[in-house]
Structure 1
């Protein structure tokens, strides 16, 4: 029996790339990259394209969520938004990286594409110790959001939601990446625009700690 397609929400970061590699072991992939006006938009898109060159999905798509700053406020959405120095203040600064309802909006887009493609699964790359502490990434919130989405899709066509790294700490995700020969050097974690990582924001500090 043919293996069903998986739609992977792919940011170009470590977690989503490793989640894609895990999903690739079970069948073909469709990688979906969503832009929402974040500071690191160009750098993340470049990383996504590099990931696609490596993993060679059956489908790949970049979709804009529009001007998210028109309905939500976050330093990530302002070109000059100041981010805290996570190297000195820690990696639990929700205000730096939280965009209200972004996770739910991403799931909706992934569900729409999965339904269109006839995919059997949507892969979400959230890991256990997500540095942003985004409540939208919590297991309970993700489950509730997905239950609402499922009610909007025909029952027989509704894909399942899979978060293969949900019980993995970031260091364990990196170890799994090594086992799967994932090229982490092409991924992007910095919350700023680049062209080089700032090495001070939440994303950079969490990445450095995980890589050891």
Structure 2
């Protein structure tokens, strides 16, 4: 693995420091001056690498979503039937959302800001998830596990039906009303049972 060039290494160090502060005190309460202090540099130097705190948030969000995307692709490429792996990717995505954005509640503001200010990053991740699911659906259809359907349309339907377990704002609302992550996880499995049964080849 090649070492990062100095500029990329500094950008990564700034993002690391900012992410740690977002987790400790929250996105809204963290200033560029705080990030600069944590990096032992001046705010002006931070601005040489990122034009704003929002841009730092974009880089962190992109990094987090890339990590999750890589995990989902690894699950999709694993063993088992297509339906089993589709179910596993959906369950993993839900668990990661809870772990990253709600077990550490201060990260929720960061995600909300990213959804408002950097929709392109979020949209790119959604497209990646849809591509994973479409690939699994095509595989399942070719193997005779699923009926012959439009895999692109069915992947989008899965995404819409599973929105409750993947959208940070909807998820936060459910968890804020007293439902536990375990209860929501059980409900997601029931929804997946229904959806997979609907496309299974009889």
Structure (1/2) with the larger helix percentage: 2
Q: Whose relative contact order is higher, 1 or 2, with alpha carbons under 8 Å and at least 6 apart? A: 1
Larger radius of gyration: 2
Do these two structures clear the TM 0.5 threshold for a shared fold by scoring above it? no
TM-score, normalised by the number of residues in structure 2: 0.34
Q: Which has the higher strand share?
A: 1
